[in-house]
């Protein structure tokens, strides 16, 4: 179980700058415990050049490296490219249960989703990245504040289902994607992959958090509250790796300890502004709510 925090610039104005931020992300993925697959045709960070606008320059596929991978494999494909302008980077992600060995995701698989807003605020300021890798979980908040004061370049988390004690299981996975999904609350969506008994990809309506827009102060007897997430796997199941929080009480990068599923306490970190995946009618705006992710 590993956490990673580092600050670096976000620059996509040249081929060299693209190689820098892309290889930086790839190195961080390895640091928190993901393993790159041997699929052919993956990106070469020494020679790759920027793609044209709204296009990808290459891909990598990474996989979980936990005790559940042999029976319930999880693969994550990252496509690195260029957004709507030549100076803006783009990141797309696909999560699935297998690959064909040549870069195509197979099995139970999400669609490729843009998980970045593209335009960055500065090419000289250093922006902080948070990553976490634990048994049954991967999460990242990439280049916080690089889009605006409160918005990161990209957010991706993938979490296994769990039992009543919060122990990961092989039933399915919860995927959280942001910041580039137009029309979604804060540009973020959640999806559930069901592995068994009937493989399926469930829509964002199958994920919810017990939190409403009226919550701007969560204190109860002096204690801050964290609000649980649930997904349909297909049974209604709590998610051990995420929680809803009030942003003003827990700003980005703040760590806290709570027991979201079962009785064992675990450490979480605030993912900051623009990371709530509550429905628009309930969210109260990105300045009010945020999501906490496992930080171990």
pLDDT at 241: 96
Q: Are 195 and 284 in contact (CB under 8 A)?
A: no
pTM: 0.94
CA distance 126 to 280: 31
How far apart CA 45 and CA 261 sit, in angstroms, is 40
Q: How would you classify the pairing of strands 236-246 and 289-294?
A: antiparallel
pLDDT by 10s per residue, the chain, length 296: 799 999 999 999 999 999 999 999 999 999 999 999 999 999 999 999 999 999 999 999 999 999 999 999 999 999 999 999 999 999 999 999 999 999 999 999 998 989 988 767 789 999 999 999 999 999 999 999 888 777 889 999 999 999 999 999 999 999 998 766 655 556 678 889 999 999 999 876 677 888 766 678 888 988 999 999 998 888 899 999 999 999 899 999 999 999 999 999 999 999 987 777 654 444 344 468 889 999 99
Q: Where are the alpha helices (DSSP H) in the chain?
A: 15-31, 280-283
**What pLDDT does 212 receive?**
66
Domain that holds residue 89: 2-294
The domain tally of the chain equals 1
Q: Residues with Cβ < 8 Å from 46, sequence gap 6 or more?
A: 19
pLDDT at 284: 40
């Amino acid at each position: 179980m590993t956490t990673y925090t580092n600050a670096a610039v976000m620059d996509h104005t040249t081929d060299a700058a693209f190689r820098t931020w892309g290889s930086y992300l790839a190195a961080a993925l390895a640091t928190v415990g993901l393993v790159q697959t041997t699929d052919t045709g993956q990106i070469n960070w020494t020679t790759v050049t920027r793609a044209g606008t709204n296009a990808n320059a290459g891909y990598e596929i990474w996989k979980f490296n936990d005790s559940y991978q042999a029976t319930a494999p999880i693969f994550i494909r990252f496509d690195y490219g260029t957004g709507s302008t030549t100076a803006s980077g783009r990141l797309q992600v696909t999560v699935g249960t297998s690959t064909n060995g040549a870069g195509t995701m197979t099995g139970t698989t999400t669609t490729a989703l843009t998980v970045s807003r593209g335009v960055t605020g500065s090419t000289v300021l250093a922006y902080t990245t948070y990553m976490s890798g634990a048994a049954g979980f991967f999460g990242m908040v990439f280049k916080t504040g690089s889009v605006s004061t409160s918005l990161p370049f990209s957010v991706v988390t993938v979490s296994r289902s769990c039992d009543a004690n919060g122990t990961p299981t092989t039933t399915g996975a919860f995927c959280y994607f942001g910041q580039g999904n137009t029309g979604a609350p804060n540009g973020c969506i959640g999806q559930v992959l069901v592995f068994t008994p009937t493989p399926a990809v469930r829509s964002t309506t199958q994920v919810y958090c017990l939190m409403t827009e009226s919550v701007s102060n969560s204190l109860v007897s002096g204690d801050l509250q964290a609000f649980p997430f649930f997904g349909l796997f297909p049974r209604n199941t709590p998610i051990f790796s995420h929680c809803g929080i009030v942003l003003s009480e827990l700003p980005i990068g703040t760590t806290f300890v709570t027991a979201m599923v079962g009785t064992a306490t675990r450490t979480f970190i605030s993912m900051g502004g623009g990371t709530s995946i509550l429905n628009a009618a309930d969210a109260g705006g990105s300045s009010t709510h945020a999501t906490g992710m496992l930080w171990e």
